[in-house]
Copies of this chain bind each other. A is one copy, B any other.
Amino acid sequence: MTTILHGNIIHTPSFGALETIPGGYLILEDGVIRGIWPDLPEEYAACPVTDYGDSLIMPSFADLHLHAPQYPMLGMGMDLPLLDWLDTYTFRTEARFEDEAFARRTYRRLARDLITSGTTRVAMFSSRHTDATWILMEELERAGVAGYVGKVNMNRSSGLSQETTEESISETLRWLEGCHFDLVKPILTPRFTPSCTNELMAELGRLAEERDLPVQSHLSENTGEMALVRQLHPDCAQYWETYRKYGLWKDRTLMAHCVYSDVREQEAMIESGVWAVHCAASNVNLCSGTAPVRELVNRGVQVALGSDIAGGDQLAMHKVIVMSIRASKIRQMETGASFLTVPEAYYLGSSAGHRYFGGGEGFASGQKLHAIVVDDGSLPEPVRELSLAERFERAVYLMGKEQIKAVYSEGINRL
């Protein structure tokens, strides 16, 4: 089936580039992008057109690090030191997902809130609960959010939500057996090195290889955590080596934060095809630091963005994009590394994440459409006609749910 979208097409075909096609036509065959045309080609003259008028058609967002079971505690405990925050809120909140009815309500709301905010692909941490994790995957699928979800493994020093090694392994196997979803696939998720015993790490590494499963975890988020890792693994000179030791440091492994990843750790990421997920809001909220995002990108590390709720307080990725720009400006003032421009940060919050899942950059042909349609007509009246590049920037800074009029995920409008 042919679908034709008409509107102002704006996308980021590569890191830093911005392409604008005023009043253009985006043509899909069965949800797959065939191309972008400034005028409607003759051969499509008879096809119906979805006309978005003067609205902006832009790539949708990809959120490559967030904790679904922390959604109920969004915006709370932000004044607490990390360990108190974990004890008072995080572990207690995650423990609540034993209750399937509560999980269903929360995850249905979260999945819907992702779509209405324009996020169509995710790499997500669930809790340790197998059944709640399936519910999360079901609800994402129902809402039209694609990507990876991981049942969390944590059998050491993790407060209320701890599991035994045997449980952790057997429940992971049970969980993997029950993952039969189209849009949402499993990803192995050792919470982070300090919360997994060596035995569990080794078992997860074996599973990752045996079943060719991707892996996500945390890396070099704050200095206290790094000291703890050194203490637990005195044989590893650096944090990343604890993952490599057990076969978890491999192609497409997602590592959240990387605030303190130095040249050696960055080069290890490049060598193994490990991705860094930059979570600017969370890093500031929890006083972790500002990640060297420009350095990571320049050196050649694959970088995407994450909301990291509930360390981050903002689910909407356009807000996370703006926070990434702000954090990079702080970093520029501290180190001189140039800040992220709006097209650069947008690329990291959209195309980079889509690419992780095998999607294309911007609106590349041959890929299922992941797009949002933004009606900026209700924003303050400008003093002159704005270019599409200006409208794009303004939309990134000012849009809210009320401006997002359509959200295409895997080629279908899910709004």
Q: A: which residues have CB within 8 A of B?
A: 71-79, 92-93, 96, 102, 105-106, 109-110, 113, 284-285, 287, 289-290, 313, 322, 325-326, 329-330, 332-334, 339, 341-342, 379-384, 386, 390, 393-394, 396-398, 400
Residues on the B chain within 8 Å of A287, using CB? 329, 332-333, 339
In whole angstroms, what is the CA distance A383 to B325 when docked? 33
CB distance from A390 to the nearest CB of B (A): 6
The residue on B at minimum CB distance from A288 is B333
- 28 A-B contacts, Cβ less than 8 Å apart? A72-B380, A74-B379, A74-B380, A74-B394, A74-B397, A74-B398, A76-B386, A76-B390, A76-B394, A77-B393, A78-B342, A78-B397, A79-B342, A96-B383, A106-B380, A106-B381, A113-B380, A284-B326, A284-B329, A287-B329, A287-B332, A287-B333, A287-B339, A289-B333, A290-B330, A313-B398, A326-B326, A400-B400
Min Cβ gap A377→B in Å is: 13
A339 contact set on B, CB distance < 8 A? 79, 287
Instruction: Report yes or no: B93 in contact with A383, Cβ–Cβ below 8 A.
Output: yes
Given the known inter-chain contacts A75-B394, A380-B74, A383-B72, please indicate yes or no for A334 contacting B332, CB distance below 8 A.
no
Q: Can you name the residue of chain B whose Cβ is closest to the Cβ of A71?
A: B380
Instruction: Name A's interface SS.
Output: helix
Contacts of A110 in B (CB 8 A): 380
Question: What separation, in Å, do the CA atoms of A113 and B383 have in the docked complex?
Answer: 18
Known: A78-B397, A313-B398, A393-B78. A383 touches B73 (CB 8 A): yes
> In the bound complex, do residue A381 and residue B105 qualify as a contact, i.e. CB atoms below 8 Å apart?
yes
Question: In the complex where A109-B381, A284-B329 touch, is A398 in contact with B289 (Cβ < 8 A)?
Answer: no
A75 contacts B400, C-beta separation under 8 Å: no
Contact of A75 among B102, B334, B397 (CB under 8 A): B397
State the CA gap A29–B77 with chains docked (Å): 37
**Apart from A74-B379, A287-B339, what 15 extra A-B contacts exist at CB < 8 Å?**
A74-B380, A75-B393, A75-B398, A78-B393, A78-B397, A79-B339, A92-B384, A96-B383, A105-B381, A106-B381, A109-B381, A113-B380, A285-B329, A313-B397, A326-B326
Smallest CB separation, A73 vs chain B (Å): 7
> What is the CA–CA distance of A313 and B380 in the complex, to the nearest angstrom?
12
Question: In whole angstroms, what is the CA distance A333 to B96 when docked?
Answer: 33
Check A325–B398 contact: CB distance below 8 A.
no
Chain B contacts for A77, CB-based, 8 A: 393
- Please tell me if the beta carbons of A393 and B72 are within 8 angstroms of each other in the complex: no
CB nearest neighbor in B for A386? B76
Residue among A78, A313, A332, A381 with max Cβ neighbours from chain B (10 Å): A78
**Do A330 and B330 form a contact, CB below 8 Å, given A71-B380, A72-B383, A383-B73?**
yes
